[in-house]
Amino acid sequence: MTDSLTGLIRELPKTELHLHIEGTFDPELMFEIAQRNDVSLPYESVDEIRAAYEFENLQSFLDLYYAGATVLQTQRDFHDLTWSYLQKMKTENVRHVEIFFDPQTHTDRGVPFSEVVEGIYGALNDAHGRLGVSSGLILCFLRHLSEEAAFDTLEQALPYKDWITAVGLDSAEAGHPPSKFENVFKACRDEGFLAVAHAGEEGPAEYIRQALDLLKVRRIDHGVRCTEDPQLVRRLKQEQIPLTVCPLSNVKLRIFDQLTDHNLKKLLDTGLCVMINSDDPAYFGGYLQQNYIETAEALSLNKNDIVQLARNSFIASFLTSEDKQQHLADIDRIAARH
The CA distance from 241 to 225, in Å, is 14
Evaluated on CA atoms 286, 109, 195, 124, the torsion sign reads negative
Q: By three-state DSSP, how is residue 245 classified?
A: strand
Tell me if 72 sits within 8 A of 78, measured CB to CB: yes
173 is catalytic: no
* Cα distances (angstroms) measured from residue 325 to each of 92, 321, 333: 20, 6, 12
Q: Whose Cβ is closer to ligand ADE: residue 77's or residue 170's?
A: 170
Tell me if 274 sits within 8 A of 309, measured CB to CB: yes
- Residue nearest Zn ion, Cβ-based: 279
Q: How far is the CB of 277 from ligand ADE (least distance, A)?
A: 10
The CA distance from 320 to 314, in Å, is 10
Catalytic residue among 16, 22, 201, 202: 201
**From the list 279, 284, 292, 294, which residue makes contact with Zn ion (rule: CB under 5 A)?**
279
Q: Whose Cβ is closer to ligand ADE: residue 214's or residue 251's?
A: 251
Q: How far is the CB of 270 from ligand ADE (least distance, A)?
A: 23
Angle value at C-alpha 157, between 279 and 276, nearest 5 degrees = 15
Q: How far is the CB of 152 from Zn ion (least distance, A)?
A: 22
- Residue nearest ligand ADE, Cβ-based: 170
In 41-129, the DSSP E strands lie at 94-101
Residues contacting ligand ADE: total by CB under 6 A: 11
The reply on whether position 280 binds ligand ADE by CB under 6 A is yes
Q: Whose Cβ is closer to ligand ADE: residue 104's or residue 308's?
A: 104
Question: Which residues are at the interface with Zn ion (CB under 5 A)?
Answer: 279
Q: Which residues are catalytic?
A: 201
Question: Which residues are at the interface with ligand ADE (CB under 6 A)?
Answer: 20, 23, 58, 65, 170-171, 198, 201, 249, 279-280
